[in-house]
Amino acid sequence: MNAVLADYRTAPVDDKEKALFAFIERMNAQSNLIQRQDVDRVKAAGWSEEAIYDAITVCALFRFYNAWIDATGVHDMPADAYDVAGKRMAAQGYVR
């Protein structure tokens, strides 16, 4: 995971994942310039249209959430709170 975060291009993941990461990187930097050939390249690497749509949606939502958090001043939770929430969700799902 750390290798992917450091540089997906040299990380020990297969070319299929690298193609998706390259697409998402372009989407983050130049979403207004995405063209059919960008999508075709990801499809040629083995991703379905549904998977690409899901990746676009997750990326766009996180961009929105980050902008919202930055603009509203909402603060991040401490690391131990994520640990508690993760254990709760693993045991109970999203229901409290």
CATH number of 2-92: 1.20.1290.10
- The Cα–Cα gap between 41 and 20 comes to 9
Residue pLDDT, tens place only, 11-22:
999 999 999 999
Helices (H), the chain: 2-7, 15-30, 36-44, 49-72, 79-92
The predicted-structure confidence for 36-46, as pLDDT tens digits, reads as follows 999 999 999 99
Cβ neighbours of 20 (radius 10 Å): 20
CA 48 – CA 23 distance, rounded (Å): 14
Domain boundaries along the sequence of the chain: 2-92
Q: Assess whether pLDDT exceeds 90 at residue 93.
A: no
* Model confidence pLDDT, tens digit, residues 46-92: 999 999 999 999 999 999 999 999 999 988 889 899 999 899 999 99
